[in-house]
Amino acid sequence: MSETLTAAPASAAIVRPAALRASFTVDPIAPAIGAEIGNIDLSQPLDDGEYAALRTALLEHKLLVFRDQDITAAQQVALGRRFGELEVHPVFPQHPDHPELVVLGGDGHTAARENVYHTDVSWRARPSMGSILRCVECPKVGGDTIWVNMALAYERLPQSVREAIDGLLAVHDLLPAFGVRMTPEEREARRKAFPPATHPVVRTHPETGERILYVNEAFTTHLANFVEKHEVRYGFDFRLAEMDLLQYLYRQAAVPEHQVRLKWRPDTIAFWDNRSTQHYAIQDYFPARRRMLRATIIGEVPV
């Protein structure tokens, strides 16, 4: 049964309940994460009430899904800009008229490589607030995407693990995932432009105050201060213990109880909070094609 959004949850203090006036519906699609939004036309500019209500729904559900949204590339850019400044990705191909739109998907000759649990651009000093992804062309079968609630993943960690990771810092790097696409000269230039970024292993959501497990196997390479925080008997101890801990933290994204799985259709749009989620694009459809356009909203420095 649909619910009509009329008030903000207590955690979303950024939005005053009086500002929320929207007629769209919100249907949760999994207990952990995700809601489908109905009765809304994203080709039209959002008024202040719709914007505030959608932002509140995003904070609560972390992933919003919109079906049958036949919008143009320019309208997708405008929608993204309603929520903040858009980034231009330094590696992925871009839309010819809108560099803010990343073009994702294989060409029928080379399989796409987004099939790893990750948080978009965590290698930036200011990772993204969120992403708006539109399906342009979908395979008839396969090509689903999984999203993970990483606030829930942190909440369900054993207390001993939460104590062990308190105060730890993780290093996030562009090159391990994207360097294979580059020439040596391009790798050197990207390294100068985007040096590794260090972020808390557990970040605090700037709008809800939630604690979020913020490491991912695509971009997190190591812990910056493990030795400072943990006792070491022998020189090799710290490296083995550090990697064991990181591997354990990576695996939390793969817990089904933390997830939702979306089946795409053409003109489906997914809008997710990149600060509190990870996702995995399932590569089970090659050599069929799945073409997507993504607008990414610049976020804050994680704390």
Q: Is 294 a catalytic residue?
A: yes
Q: Is 279 a catalytic residue?
A: yes
Q: Is 118 a catalytic residue?
A: yes
- What is the sign of the dihedral through the CA atoms of 228, 233, 235 and 239? negative
Catalytic hit among 55, 98, 279, 290: 279
Catalytic hit among 61, 98, 118, 211: 118
Instruction: Give the C-alpha separation, 98 to 225, whole Å.
Output: 40
Catalytic hit among 55, 124, 258, 294: 294
Q: Is the peptide bond before 287 cis (omega within 30 degrees of 0)?
A: yes
Catalytic hit among 89, 98, 120, 203: 120
Residues acting as catalytic residues: 118, 120, 279, 294
